């Protein structure tokens, strides 16, 4: 059955490798018959969570920024795909801020059931993305109706658009997208 997939791309730089990988995952997922919305955080205003917990009474955040609309996309998708460059062996600050701001969903009847992670890094290893994976797994653990389903990692990518010389990663990304 076709899924409604939301891809959240958190790299803020032009020529982002993780964004280009995520676009291939999107192409794969569309080719498999799914509906995909691609959301880049590049032009979005998303402030830090201030931890007031008012959202746990009201189901919405008191901060007035783009997250008011974006959180509804997270709530309504069947499948979430978070994409991040690896920064200091962790997810980007932009993605962490986005996840923190999803806290209003904690008390809501959120729709999403599956969560994936895409990473891009300079180092090409199985260990480089483990802390980012663990962070997203921690997010999923707080949403018991959802399950963490897997990671796609592209390594050996330092400069903007470097992914364009790595066809094998892009092919793997497309195949990953077809199986979401
Ligand atoms: C602040 C910062 C920290 C980084 N830390 C790591 C790291 O710990 N390990 C690594 O392999 N690459 C690290 N990198 C490199 C990026 O992960 C890599 O260039 C990645 O492909 C960038 O993805 P993007 O093009 O989607 O932004 C770091 C880059 C920056 C800017």
Q: Which two tokens stand for residue 80?
A: 């979430």
Residue 149 tokens, joined: 């389903």
Task: Kindly give the distance from the C-alpha atom of residue 30 to the centroid of ligand 1, in angstroms, as a whole number.
Answer: 28
Please state the atom number of ligand 1 nearest to the C-alpha of residue 89: 8
3-state secondary structure 86-128: CECCECCHHHHHHHHCCHHHHHCCCCCCEEEEEEECCCCCCCC
- Ligand 1 centroid, distance to 110 Cα (angstroms): 32
Give the pLDDT score at 14: 98
pLDDT tier for residue 172 given thresholds of 50, 70 and 90: very high
Q: For 9-15, what is the mean pLDDT?
A: 98
CA distance 10 to 6: 13
Q: What is the arithmetic mean of pLDDT over 120-138? A: 98
pLDDT at 30: 98
**pLDDT of 139-149, one tens digit each?**
999 999 999 99
The average pLDDT across 97-116 equals: 98
Ligand 1 atom closest to the CA of 16, numbered from 1? 25
Instruction: Write down the domain spans for the chain.
Output: 4-178
Atom 8 of ligand 1 has which residue's CA nearest to it? 88
Question: Quick one: pLDDT at residue 116?
Answer: 98
Q: Average pLDDT in the 151-173 region?
A: 98
Q: Could you tell me the CA-to-CA distances from 19 to 1, 110, 138, 173 in Å, in that order?
A: 26, 26, 23, 11
Can you tell me the distance from the alpha carbon of 37 to that of 123, in angstroms, rounded to the nearest whole number?
29
What residue ranges line ligand 1, CB within 6 angstroms?
11, 13, 16-19, 85-89, 120-123, 128, 157-158, 160
Structural contact between residues 178 and 31, judged by C-beta atoms closer than 8 angstroms: yes
C-alpha neighbours within 13 Å on the C-beta side of residue 93: 5
- Taking residues 56-79, report their average pLDDT: 97
Please tell me the class of the 4-178 domain.
alpha beta
Residue 163 confidence class, pLDDT cut points 50, 70, 90: very high
Mean per-residue pLDDT, 1-15 = 97
Confidence grade of residue 165 (pLDDT, cut at 50, 70, 90): very high
User: Average pLDDT, stretch 79-95?
Assistant: 98
CA of 58 to the centre of ligand 1 (A): 37
Query: According to the model, what pLDDT value does residue 79 have?
Result: 98
Query: Which residue has its alpha carbon closest to ligand 1 atom 2?
Result: 87
Q: Quote the percentage of the chain above a pLDDT of 70.
A: 100
For residue 117, how far is its CA from the centre of ligand 1 (angstroms)?
A: 15
pLDDT at 171: 98
To test the pocket of ligand 1, the residue of 20, 87, 169 to mutate (highest count of ligand atoms within 8 Å of its CB) is 87
């Amino acid at each position: 059955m076709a899924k409604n997939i939301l891809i959240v791309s958190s790299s803020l730089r032009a020529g982002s490798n993780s964004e280009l990988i995520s676009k291939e995952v999107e192409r794969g997922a569309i080719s498999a018959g799914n509906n995909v919305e691609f959301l880049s955080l590049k032009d979005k205003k998303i402030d830090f969570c201030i931890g007031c917990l008012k959202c746990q009474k009201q189901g919405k955040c008191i901060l007035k920024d783009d997250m008011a609309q974006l959180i509804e996309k997270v709530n309504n998708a069947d499948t979430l795909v978070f994409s991040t460059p690896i920064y200091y062996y962790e997810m980007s600050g932009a993605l962490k801020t986005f996840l923190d701001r999803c806290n209003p969903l904690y008390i809501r009847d959120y729709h999403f059931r599956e969560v994936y992670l895409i990473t891009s890094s300079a180092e090409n290893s199985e260990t480089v993305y483990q802390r980012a994976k663990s962070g997203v797994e921690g997010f999923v653990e707080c949403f018991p109706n959802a399950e963490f389903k897997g990671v796609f990692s592209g390594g050996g990518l330092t400069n903007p658009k470097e992914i364009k010389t790595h066809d094998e990663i892009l092919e793997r990304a497309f195949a990953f997208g077809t199986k979401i």
